[in-house]
Structure 1
């Protein structure tokens, strides 16, 4: 039996995680478990809970044929809980899907996103992890044709995970445009668009609230995830969790403090 773990950052009662689970239930021979935050945890990054106790509780999940738990923690806590606490038979998840998030997680969003942290935590534990986000921030109750859109994606990731063909230390960040299925232009490997918005703080009575300003949609010139989604493509980005700049590591050998202090004898 192929065991799939589903999590998110919008909370276990969110519509997006239901849609993701519906797509996964079409996979033959899959055993689905849902472990998600009891409440919304958007923007928590890769935060983990250690100053208070986690208490996973069984949860009815839309009447679907899955086993589900709600966790009083963050998405990374949910994946950790599933891995260390919830599977008494010792069979760990074979793959983790996180989402479907309300709104995109593009470019540097991967560092803030709880959705991405669920997939990243899976990879840290040696399990393939896939994060999915949908560009419906301004139409949050409408998931359109997203189930049909992601079926070929989840099917191929499941197949590659079974064959152990997915690279280690990589999670996959998938962003889906909010258009009808017949308007999807393709599914494209994408790079991160690290500078596609500017942070702004708006002053209100309670203080300052963080907002973003996005550029006008420009002609598609590079395979950047933001541009691809805005032009109607599903963007799929492999994100390596080892952020070491190995090329520059060699150059640092010429820095003065390395030469003087780098290799001192005991």
Structure 2
């Protein structure tokens, strides 16, 4: 039996998490659990609830055969609570799927995204994590054929999790174009696009709102996650949670303050 945990950042009542559950329920021999924020928590990054108590509430979930809780916290809280509090038999999830998010999480979005933090927290706890996002920001009630489109992906990740062969310290960031399934060109590995938008603030009566602008740019030498999704591909990015620059760490041994400190100690 494969034990699967689902979470998201759009809240337990969001349509995207229902679509994800429906896709996972097609897997044979899967035991599905769902722990999600009781309200929308988009853009909270990897925030944790530290100064108030978490209060998991068991919920019916659209009548689907999953065991579900809503939590007054963030996506990372949901995964932590599931791992430490909610599995009474002491067993842990074999894999965590987070999403399906309204809108993409591309490039540096991975640092702001609650969806990505759900998958990242799983990996921190030693459990494989997969974040899924759908490019429907301007058509939010329309999830099209996304359930059918992600079935091969979730099946592959679930099988690899069952075999225990997914790499440690990596979560998978999946972004899906908002097109009919017949127009999907393929599923491809992709690097993060870190500069495809610019932050701008729009002044309104209430104050300043953070906005994004997508400037015209020359075609990149390498097609990154943003370019691939906009071209009709499902982009899959392995994201390592150890952000240490190992090459630079080695080079720092020659920096003057490091060498001078070493001499004083010697």
TM category (shorter chain) comes to: over 0.9
Pairing of 1:32-181 with structure 2 (within 5 A): 32-181=32-181
Shift of 1:263: 7.1
1:201-235 C-alpha deviation (Å, 9 max, x unpaired): 00011110000001348657523000000000000
Greater displacement, 237-246 / 160-169: 160-169
TM-score, normalising length: structure 2: 0.97
- For residues 25 and 261 of structure 1, the distance between their equivalents in structure 2, rounded to whole angstroms, comes to 58
What is the CA RMSD across the aligned residues, in angstroms? 1.3
1:29 aligns with 2:26: no
Aligned to 1:152, the other structure's residue is in SS state helix
Question: 5+ unaligned residues in a row in structure 2: which ranges?
Answer: none
- For residues 262 and 246 of structure 1, the distance between their equivalents in structure 2, rounded to whole angstroms, comes to 20
Shift of 1:34: 0.5
Aligned to 1:63, the other structure's residue is in SS state coil
- C-alpha distance 263-89 of structure 1, shift in aligned 2 (>3 A): farther
- C-alpha distance 114-219 of structure 1, shift in aligned 2 (>3 A): same
- For residues 60 and 220 of structure 2, the distance between their equivalents in structure 1, rounded to whole angstroms, comes to 44
Shift of 1:256: 1.0
- For residues 136 and 206 of structure 2, the distance between their equivalents in structure 1, rounded to whole angstroms, comes to 28
1:69-120 C-alpha deviation (Å, 9 max, x unpaired): 0000000000000000000001100000000000000000000000000000
1:117-139 C-alpha deviation (Å, 9 max, x unpaired): 00000000000000000000000
Question: 5+ unaligned residues in a row in structure 1: which ranges?
Answer: none
1:237 aligns with 2:244: no
Q: Paired residue for 1:213?
A: 213
TM-score, normalising length: structure 1: 0.97
Aligned to 2:119, the other structure's residue is in SS state helix
- For residues 146 and 238 of structure 2, the distance between their equivalents in structure 1, rounded to whole angstroms, comes to 21
- For residues 217 and 166 of structure 2, the distance between their equivalents in structure 1, rounded to whole angstroms, comes to 33
- C-alpha distance 139-51 of structure 1, shift in aligned 2 (>3 A): same
- C-alpha distance 218-135 of structure 1, shift in aligned 2 (>3 A): farther
Q: Paired residue for 1:259?
A: 259
- For residues 263 and 125 of structure 2, the distance between their equivalents in structure 1, rounded to whole angstroms, comes to 33
- Number of positions where the alignment pairs a residue of Structure 1 with one of Structure 2: 266
- For residues 79 and 32 of structure 1, the distance between their equivalents in structure 2, rounded to whole angstroms, comes to 14
- For residues 4 and 78 of structure 2, the distance between their equivalents in structure 1, rounded to whole angstroms, comes to 14
- For residues 85 and 191 of structure 2, the distance between their equivalents in structure 1, rounded to whole angstroms, comes to 35
- C-alpha distance 261-229 of structure 1, shift in aligned 2 (>3 A): same
Q: State whether residues 36 and 70 of structure 1, in contact with CA within 8 Å, keep that contact through their aligned partners in structure 2.
A: yes
Aligned to 2:234, the other structure's residue is in SS state strand
